[in-house]
Amino acid sequence: MKTFSQKNETVEKKWILIDAEGLVVGRLASLVALRLRGKHKATYTPHIDDGDNVIIVNADKVVFTGKKYTDKTYYWHTGHPGGIKERKARQILEGRFPERVVEKAVERMLPEGPLARQQLRNLRVYSGSNHPHEAQKPEALDVAALNSKNKRAA
């Protein structure tokens, strides 16, 4: 029996729609990273982009557990000496681009490299409930129903 290896030509991608309202950020991100990589499929091949296209709506309504909403810090560096910057999760969620919290959480759960960057392009995150991908007929995935810990009251 030979080991199955997926080819780029035979990959079948589905479109998944996830409503993130009230979902815990880390649990949502780990499930989305799994879907983007394609590890939920029997045809998973580590060096092929076999994952699905994932649309996340209501990303501004995600929740953190514990004190992470006020205490979690996101760092970045400007590239200049002494250019370390920081911002709290609360500032980002209440700011101009609240979807970046979910994007960063998913990005940091993928391995680094060209394949992960390609898989990350299959993720679309929107802060409101509207998205421009109705023509792709995405299937709704109820993440809250998968495990009782996935959803948390705000």
Here the tokens at position 112 are 């680094």
Q: Which CATH architecture has domain 14-64+98-147?
A: Alpha-Beta Complex (3.90)
Q: What is the pLDDT of residue 123?
A: 97
- Around 104, how many Cα atoms within 13 Å sit in the side-chain half-sphere? 13
Q: What is the pLDDT of residue 152?
A: 85
Q: Is 40 left (phi over 0), alpha (psi -120 to 50) or beta?
A: alpha
Q: What is the pLDDT of residue 1?
A: 82
Q: What is the pLDDT of residue 4?
A: 87
Q: 10-residue block means of pLDDT along the chain (154 residues)?
A: 90 96 96 96 94 96 95 96 97 95 96 96 96 96 94 76
Here the tokens at position 89 are 């999760």
Only one residue has tokens 């994932």, namely 54
pTM to 2 decimal places = 0.92
